[in-house]
Amino acid sequence: MNAGVSAQLHIVSRSFGTRLALDRASFEIQPGEVLGLLGPNGAGKTTTMRLLTGYLRPSAGRVTIGGIDLAVDPVGARRLVGYLPEGSPVPRDLTVRRYLAWRARLLALPRATRRTEVERVCDMAGLDDVAGRRIGQLSRGYRQRVGLAQALIGQPPLLVLDEPTVGLDPRQVATTRNLIARLARQHAVLLSSHLLTEVAQLCRRVVVLDGGRVITTAPVRELTDPTTGGRLRLRLSDPDLGVTVLRGVAGVEAVERRGGDVIVRSAPGGGDLAPAVSAAVVAAGIGLLEMRSESATLEDAYLRLVSE
């Protein structure tokens, strides 16, 4: 079974005037995987996706899709990519079916297969019930599904999905996540999302960008390994004082308030902080109402990486 193609950025930089949006970035999207693309606003995620889809050309370096250099054969490379931009900018005056048929024609699919292909992607994206309606009459969630459907036309081996679950209700989010997981069996998928729980659920590996540079490319399992820094959740009689006190404990990387709780993150290799934390709280005369250990999450790893 086809599991997509690999796509690579080879020491890629991209400038806009004097601003360097991407700085010598290198990573690979492997066939049969969902690779997460993470980073704060302005980190270079959108630039990266536009380079991979051929909307931009690099100022330096090479972008290849299935071994095809985008600079040498942009049309051939772009035929291998399906792209869902953030916000799914789709025309509102066409019906779903007519828009998808137009996209199929634009992608030069044979006339004899276009109708079948439109029905296939409508079924995959859950659009059967609204295929005859104008896109402008649909909810934001359905418009997002139309954007996903157009990215699937022609079964491109590489899918670039930017915030694919934005605007969907909880049931639609679950359905879309299941679809993305299934798509990875036949496609390589790059997934950009601010929902770190979504990335952790769908992705085996992540690329983290910050300031236009690749900070890390690593398996999610490695980033969430307890030895890379776990956390404690505390309920204290004086949370504000507790935050101040705990920031001075050796081995503590960060302390923050979350509602009535205090979250203490340990530094990588910081070991078990519970004895030192409880001792510091008691010594400061703060009531320790509850303390429990929690496994390191992708959010913990992400915050650690982009704040360094």
Based on the structure, what is the number of domains in the chain? Answer: 2
Q: Does one domain contain both 300 and 233?
A: yes
Residues 263-278: tens digit of each pLDDT: 998 876 666 788 999 9
Q: Does one domain contain both 105 and 244?
A: no
Q: Does one domain contain both 59 and 170?
A: yes
On the question of pLDDT at 1 being above 50, the answer is no
Judge whether 2 lies within some domain.
no
Q: Give residue 223's pLDDT.
A: 84
Q: Give residue 293's pLDDT.
A: 83
Q: Does one domain contain both 237 and 158?
A: no
Q: Does one domain contain both 59 and 172?
A: yes
Judge whether 1 lies within some domain.
no
On the question of pLDDT at 227 being above 70, the answer is no
Of 223, 255, 290, the domain-final residue:
223
On the question of pLDDT at 119 being above 90, the answer is yes
Q: Does one domain contain both 232 and 210?
A: no
Residues 249-260: tens digit of each pLDDT: 998 888 999 888
**pTM (global) more than 0.85:** no
Residue numbers of the domain that contains 60 = 7-223
Judge whether 56 lies within some domain.
yes
Judge whether 205 lies within some domain.
yes
Q: What is the CATH number of the domain that holds 252?
A: 3.30.70.980
Q: Does one domain contain both 102 and 239?
A: no
Average pLDDT along the chain: 91
Of 193, 208, 223, the domain-final residue:
223
Judge whether 190 lies within some domain.
yes
Judge whether 74 lies within some domain.
yes
Q: Does one domain contain both 195 and 245?
A: no
SS (H, E, C) the chain: CCCCCCEEEEEEEEEECCEEEEEEEEEEECCCCEEEEECCCCCCHHHHHHHHCCCCCCCEEEEEECCEECCCCHHHHHCCEEEECCCCCCCCCCEHHHHHHHHHHHCCCCHHHHHHHHHHHHHHHCCHHHCCCEHHHCCHHHHHHHHHHHHHCCCCCEEEEECCCCCCCHHHHHHHHHHHHHHCCCCEEEEECCCHHHHHHHCCEEEEEECCEEEEEEEHHHHCCHHHCCEEEEEECCHHHHHHHHCCCCCEEEEEEECCEEEEEECCCCCCCHHHHHHHHHHCCCCEEEEEEECCCHHHHHHHHHHC
Q: Give residue 166's pLDDT.
A: 84
Residues 67-113: tens digit of each pLDDT: 999 999 999 999 999 999 987 789 999 999 999 999 999 999 999 99
Of 190, 207, 223, the domain-final residue:
223
Q: Does one domain contain both 250 and 198?
A: no
